[in-house]
Amino acid sequence: MLTPQGLKGKQYRITGNAYPRLGRPPKKSRKVLALIGALLALALIGLGGVQLWDIFSGKGRNASAQACETPSGKALAAPAQDASPDAPGASAALADPHAIPQPATVTVNVYNATAKAGLAARTAEELKKRGFAIGKVGNAPAELDKKVPGTAQVIAGPAGVGASTLLGSQIAGATTTADARTDATVDFVIGDSYNALLDETQAAAALALATKPTPAPSTTGSC
């Protein structure tokens, strides 16, 4: 090794067999990518923590009971609300012809289609005691006279569907027929097999059976 004149070579002589290696300076893009990756990892951890909190805290347990939503965010079915006379559409709800009315709001025409005299009057009196309003009482029209083989035939129009269900529950084996009348009156035509009305307890049980709702199919977990 050459040593400049006037200098002592031992003081500045490089010894050993290891030399420093020079690497490329780290690029800024690598640092940025590393920072973004760390932020994404923290975000995923936070999201998972929120979901676990919802599960263990019981939030959303009643979600299956809520109405499913369309892509627009509107519910497929609105929750039922109690109708009040002042609410919009309440009159339509109260006028539902399929709703079972109170006996006092049902006008019954009682007709006797048998050869037994006085049967219509006695039956009308029994129905009156149960709260029904009585209309016409007399013999059945010619097209029904002696032509009702069962206990009774209940006849009503589209506006008297619920009333006919109520009246039909008062007697066992009654048949129900629809006609084109526009009012809510109901005809009670006594047939050949008629003996008496059901007692009030039996009539109430028959009405409950006739109006028992059909179970809806389960939609748990799906819309």
pLDDT in tens, 184-219: 999 999 999 999 999 999 999 999 999 988 666 665
Residue 175 lies in a domain: yes
Choose the most confident range, by mean pLDDT, from 34-48, 94-108, 139-153: 139-153
Residue 140 lies in a domain: yes
Indicate the average pLDDT of the chain.
77
Residue 54 lies in a domain: no
Residue 118 lies in a domain: yes
pLDDT in tens, 140-180: 999 999 999 999 999 999 999 999 999 999 999 999 999 99
Global pTM reads 0.56
Query: What total of structural domains would you count in the chain?
Result: 1
d(CA 66, CA 79): 8
Host domain of residue 141: 114-210
